[in-house]
Chains A and B, each alone.
Chain A
């Protein structure tokens, strides 16, 4: 039983990790808060005489979540460059599953919760600051004033685009976490390069494969995967082939879920076989 996964031992492991890394986690948390606060503050201050920059608000959410999360995740296993720390981590009497879950909770859950709390708080604060201090030009009509000169906090989980950013965060983070274990040095840069290269190759060969399968000239279309393609004959459009709606829905869940599960499974086995 001692060799089986234990939630109690995992809890002690989490406490130990947080206690020993409180300074670096604290610094990162302060850095993240300041980054969001200062940048959002500057955006709002520079917009007090114009429309509320809703695009920048969404952009800050996306960049903060994706970029901040990736940097945090890709540095999780940086301690493997320090041999004594790596030895202590591997030799600590806990199962690989418990050590794996530690990384998952810290990088996927803890970071996400902290980021959402920070962003929501700052978003509320900055929207209030804008609404109370906005000074639109005199020629702006009262109706327009209410519509375009009014800030509304982002609906983080309700808006489709934000849902996509959150989904991308989980996938990108899973990649970065695996990269952190695979590349001991410069994990962030190397993993980013690997992801860019991998997706470019996949996109290129996916297109080539479709062209190979279909004899006519085709133009594939899709955001994250090909959901339709146009068949052309020189300048004439011969038709559009679309995926059945249910397939599209299924793929939009299946593909990200598969990538996520593959990355985390690979991380588990890599951790199990990590040598120091």
Chain B
């Protein structure tokens, strides 16, 4: 669905953000894009949408070059950025207008989603930030595009809305679609994302499915730090410690603590790269 081949990118008067970046994303999954501030997450998403162009290398999204911005491709991509737009329009009328440009837009679904999210039918300007965000999420889902991209979607959402968001997204993905969520709020997306991409200083450290991560690693809690076995990474907490441990062959522990995995990856870049890139 998305292929990056030796992509280089730099903003004017800045150092290279990406050098020889290669990446493949398949349909039928929810990808969690993680990385520190400035790692290049938003730029990667913009490259997928054709909002910025690579310096060298090729990008293919749904078989097309996103830089050409052809209506055919744009009709199948919906990007909800971190900072959202507030058009001077009633939200239902705005949905109706957008439905002209997105042929698969489902207006009934849009209204249902707004109702599920408890967003009142009014002008964008009269909504709170969280309500605006939920409206854009609803627009993105109702657009029924094959590629849906969210940048920090849960920022500004209240706790019930985050739960509702997870539920709605779980129903959204099918074999034809791909969803990319870039976030720092990994706890909000636990049990939802099924692939993790970790970006660091313009490099992909890990691009692996949750199953693959669970095959390779275990995330365990220990009451006493002294009980810690040989591990890749550990963190102390109020209850003792949590650790990331390399599995023995055949060992499988279904649970993946995404936050811990992210911290472990950032702390052990080469090792993690070696584990997940050696036999993918």
Residues of B within 8 A of A84 (CB): 81, 83-86
A12 and B69 in contact (CB under 8 A), knowing A84-B83, A93-B74, A275-B52? Answer: no
B81 contacts A92, C-beta separation under 8 Å: no
* Interface size in chain A (residues, C-beta < 8 A): 28
Question: Is A236's CB within 8 Å of the partner chain B?
Answer: no
- The smallest beta-carbon distance between B255 and chain A, in angstroms, is 36
The one of A3, A16, A90 in contact with B70, judged by C-beta atoms closer than 8 angstroms, is A3
Interface string of B67-90 (1 = CB under 8 A from A): 001111011011101011111110
Q: Which residue of B lies closest to A23 (CB)?
A: B88
A94 lies within 8 A of B81 (CB) = no
CA distance A9 to B70 in the complex (A): 13
CA distance A21 to B85 in the complex (A): 13
Q: Quick check: A12 and B101 within 8 Å, CB to CB?
A: yes
A97 vs B83: C-alpha distance in the bound complex, in angstroms? 27
Given contacts A16-B97, A22-B88, A83-B81, contact A90 B51 (CB under 8 A): yes
Q: Which residue of A lies closest to B149 (CB)?
A: A91
Q: Is the interface of B mostly helix, strand, loop or mixed?
A: loop
Distance in angstroms from B65 CB to nearest chain A CB is 12
- Complex Cα distance, B81 from A126, in Å, reads 52
Question: What number of A-B contacts does a CB cutoff of 8 Å give?
Answer: 73
Query: Is the beta-carbon distance between B85 and A82 smaller than 8 angstroms?
Result: yes
By beta carbon, the residue of chain B nearest A11 is B100
Contacts of B88 in A (CB 8 A): 20-23
A208 to B89, CA, bound (A): 56
The answer to whether A3 and B71 have CB atoms under 8 Å apart is yes
Q: Is A276 in the interface zone, CB < 8 Å from B?
A: yes
Chain B residue contacts of A93, Cβ below 8 A: 71-72, 74-75, 101-102
Question: Is the beta-carbon distance between A20 and B84 smaller than 8 angstroms?
Answer: no
Is there contact, CB below 8 Å, between B89 and A91?
no
Residues of A within 8 A of B74 (CB): 91-94
Is the CB–CB distance between B81 and A275 below 8 Å?
Answer: no
Q: How large is the interface on B (under 10, 10 to 19, 20 to 34, 35 or more residues)?
A: 20 to 34
A14-46 interface bits toward B, Cβ cutoff 8 Å, 1 = contact, 0 = none = 011001111100000000000000000000000
Q: Which of B69, B71, B81, B86 contacts A87 (CB 8 A)?
A: B81
| Residues in A neighbouring B87, C-beta threshold 8 A | 20, 88
List A residues at the B interface (Cβ < 8 Å). Answer: 2-3, 9, 12, 15-16, 19-23, 82-85, 87-88, 90-96, 272-273, 275-276
Q: Sample 21 A-B pairs with CB under 8 A, ordered by A number.
A: A2-B71, A2-B72, A3-B71, A12-B100, A12-B101, A20-B89, A22-B88, A84-B85, A84-B86, A87-B49, A87-B81, A87-B85, A90-B51, A91-B50, A91-B51, A91-B78, A93-B75, A94-B74, A94-B101, A272-B69, A276-B52
7 closest cross-chain pairs (CB), A and B? A84-B85, A93-B74, A93-B75, A93-B71, A3-B70, A275-B52, A276-B51
16 extra interface residue pairs, beta carbon distance < 8 Å, beyond A19-B93, A96-B69: A2-B70, A2-B75, A3-B71, A12-B101, A19-B89, A20-B89, A83-B81, A83-B83, A84-B81, A87-B51, A91-B51, A91-B78, A91-B79, A93-B101, A273-B53, A275-B53
